[in-house]
Amino acid sequence: MSFNEHLEDPLPHKVKLQGTGGGVWTVSFTKIRDCAFFTSGWSKFAEDHELKDGEFLTFVYDGHHMFEVSLFGHSGCKETRAVVETVEISDDDSDEEEEEDPSFYG
């Protein structure tokens, strides 16, 4: 039995990939000649997980537009690659707290 036989028809246009570090990526999903492909968004997922030749992935579909993705390295062992989101922290608020009220010293 083919994986494609388990997919809903018509295919969802967008699906979510839950990566090995727990993050979620939205990718486009399409069928070409009876084969399902990830399209837009796949490159970002692959880049964020630093996928390399010789590694392989497994996909578990939950039936509700979500795939849980597992990554296996060259040795065949499952790997977890945490993808860290960078957040810029601004110290603009700290300037306000440090200002003194001149009327306090009266």
pLDDT in tens, 4-63: 666 666 778 899 999 888 889 999 988 888 788 899 999 999 999 999 999 999 999 888
Give the residue with greater pLDDT, 88 vs 63.
63
pLDDT of residue 68: 94
Strand partners, 57: 71
For 90, the token pair is 């601004």
- Whole-number pLDDT of residue 104: 45
Residues forming a β-bridge with 32: 35
Long-range pairs of 31-37 with CB within 8 A, sequence gap ≥ 24: 31/4, 31/7, 34/4, 35/4, 36/3, 36/4, 36/7, 36/11
Q: Reduced to 3 DSSP states, what percent helix, strand and coil does the chain have, rounded to the nearest 5?
A: 20, 30, 50
CATH of domain 3-86: 2.40.330.10
pLDDT band at 103 (very low <50, low <70, confident <90, very high): very low
* Greater pLDDT, 75 or 35: 75
pLDDT reported for residue 92: 66
Angstrom distance (rounded) from CA 68 to CA 47: 17
Q: Give the pLDDT of residue 69.
A: 94
Predicted local distance difference test score (pLDDT) of residue 16: 94
Residue 5 and residue 44: Cα distance in Å, rounded?
Answer: 27
